[in-house]
Structure 1
Amino acid sequence: MEVLSIRIPRELKRKMKEVDVNWSEEIRKFIEAKVREYRKKKALEEIDKMLAGLPETEKGTARKYVREDRDSN
């Protein structure tokens, strides 16, 4: 594991000591969740860019294809 140091106000550090919490674990979980969130956001942005480059289709095209598929069976 790597070590990450941060600076916090003295008053906050005092308050943290008053509660029975494993702060390393809590902070690790928070960072992991944030990394997942940002990676999802980045992936969605990339998908949006790819979709923006696709040609437009007229409204109802998907419905039409589904209907054709159902009728062919």
Structure 2
Amino acid sequence: MVDIFAQIHTLMKMGGPVVMLLVLLSVLSSAAILYKLWHFSYIGIGRHKRARQALVLWREADGRRLSRFSNRARLLSA
């Protein structure tokens, strides 16, 4: 473990502030990417179950049941 830190320290010494800045930006961008992947997974991006259900109900022209999916459908069925 100490050997890894020694290698990182040597790399930083050789590259100077530019390498330190690049490493910092790489860590920050990787963290942002991982956060957004988690966030998209959490909010359900890519899951289309409700959209499929709404489409089936729309094709069946069942406006009353469709209205729970959208306000526009509620207005159209009135």
Relative contact order: is structure 1 or structure 2 higher (C-alpha 8 Å, sep ≥ 6)?
Answer: 2
TM-score > 0.5, shorter chain as reference: no
TM-score normalised to structure 1 length: 0.42
Structure ranking higher in helix proportion: 2
TM-score normalised to structure 2 length: 0.40
